[in-house]
């Protein structure tokens, strides 16, 4: 069955998801909403999303966002703040997993299906990504993943812990840096800013440093069960992206976020092309193993 990332927050309309063939839905949850005071948890908003999905037989993929302005640093610049106390963060993760693991202990009322995946550190490679990002050290980032893994395992020994997703651009930088691939990376950040990165540029300077000092150490050292790469842009690059992530992580790889068509490469957006890209990405991924 297909997956869907980030439906709208109110649960109205969720009943159509199974009829669309959707079996997994990814949602985000912010620390600032889950723990208004230290050690005091508020699961109301999350209950209103996960419980209806579970009732419909849909598995939840939960991405936790450490954005708490009181309990984490750097939250004015990125969504993934650096927790001031990693044990406090681990305790939050344990509380969340315990509520949605379906073991009958402290579960959300009327929960019919356990959580399927848990994740944090979405798109952690950029210091300016407001959809994720990271401004702390690589050591602190690995500590975040360690605390998340420990917090999960205290409540559920089997729940898959997914590493924060790698953006398509950064996956492409890694492919260019570590293989003989020859292609350009494009990104349209705004109407007047078109970014182009050429193969030789991806093999030196800040891009090589990003891979050496952040991406590859995290993939090899941070505890996780599944790696994650976001698939945007040309579908023909997906097999190389997935293979490289699997090689450096040593674990299976999932794509928790993908889309198309990529207007960065001059493809016009239409409803037809958007949905055709879903089929193309799935078929290409299955065909490549």
CA 67 to the chain's CA centroid = 15
Range of lowest pLDDT (68-72, 213-217, 248-252, 273-277): 273-277
- Quick one: pLDDT at residue 123? 97
| Contact (CB, 8 A) for 89 and 53 | no
| Residue 61 falls in which region: left (phi positive, over 0), alpha (psi -120 to 50) or beta | beta
Mean pLDDT of the chain: 93
Tell me the average pLDDT across 13-19.
Answer: 91
- For 47-99, what is each residue's pLDDT tens digit? 999 999 999 999 999 999 999 999 999 999 999 999 999 999 999 999 999 99
pLDDT of 272 higher than 90: no
| Contact (CB, 8 A) for 161 and 118 | yes
| Contact (CB, 8 A) for 219 and 165 | no
pLDDT: is 169 or 276 the higher one? Answer: 169
Range of lowest pLDDT (138-142, 200-204, 245-249, 273-277): 273-277
Q: β-pairing, 59-65 with 22-30?
A: parallel
pLDDT of 262 higher than 80: no
Confidence of residue 122 (pLDDT cuts 50, 70, 90): very high
Q: What are the two backbone dihedrals, phi and then psi, of residue 22, each rounded to the nearest 5 degrees?
A: -95, 125
pLDDT of 9 higher than 80: no
Handedness of CA 273, 276, 282, 283 (dihedral sign): negative
- Token pair for residue 60? 């939840």
% of the chain surpassing 90 pLDDT: 78
- Quick one: pLDDT at residue 74? 97
pLDDT: is 238 or 287 the higher one? Answer: 238
Tell me the average pLDDT across 6-12.
Answer: 79
- For 153-200, what is each residue's pLDDT tens digit? 999 999 999 999 999 999 999 999 999 899 999 988 777 778 899 999
- For 208-235, what is each residue's pLDDT tens digit? 999 999 999 999 999 999 999 999 888 8
- Token pair for residue 129? 């990504």
pLDDT: is 9 or 211 the higher one? Answer: 211
């Amino acid at each position: 069955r297909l997956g869907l990332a980030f439906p709208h927050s109110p649960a109205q309309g969720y009943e159509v998801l199974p009829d669309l063939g959707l079996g997994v839905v990814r949602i985000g949850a912010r620390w600032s909403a889950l723990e208004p005071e230290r050690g005091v948890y508020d699961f109301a908003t999350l209950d209103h999303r996960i419980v209806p999905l579970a009732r419909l037989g849909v598995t939840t993929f939960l991405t936790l966002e450490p954005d708490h302005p009181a309990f984490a640093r750097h939250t004015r610049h990125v969504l993934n703040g650096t927790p001031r106390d990693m044990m406090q963060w681990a305790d939050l993760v344990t509380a969340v997993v315990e509520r949605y693991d379906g073991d009958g202990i402290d579960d959300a009322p009327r929960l019919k299906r356990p959580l399927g995946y848990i994740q944090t550190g979405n798109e952690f490679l950029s210091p300016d990504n407001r959809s994720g990002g990271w401004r702390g050290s690589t050591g602190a980032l690995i500590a975040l993943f360690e605390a998340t893994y420990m917090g999960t395992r205290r409540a559920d020994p089997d729940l898959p812990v997914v590493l924060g997703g790698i953006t398509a651009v950064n996956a492409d930088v890694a492919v260019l840096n570590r293989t003989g691939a020859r292609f350009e990376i494009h990104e349209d950040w705004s109407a007047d800013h078109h970014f182009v990165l050429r193969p030789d540029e991806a093999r030196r300077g800040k891009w090589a440093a990003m891979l050496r000092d952040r991406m590859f150490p995290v993939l090899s050292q941070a505890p996780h069960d599944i790696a994650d790469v976001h698939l945007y842009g040309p579908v023909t690059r997906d097999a190389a992206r997935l293979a490289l992530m699997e090689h450096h992580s040593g674990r299976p790889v999932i794509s928790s976020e993908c889309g198309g068509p990529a207007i960065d490469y001059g493809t016009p957006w239409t409803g037809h092309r958007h949905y055709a890209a879903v089929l193309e990405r799935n078929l290409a991924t299955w065909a490549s193993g």
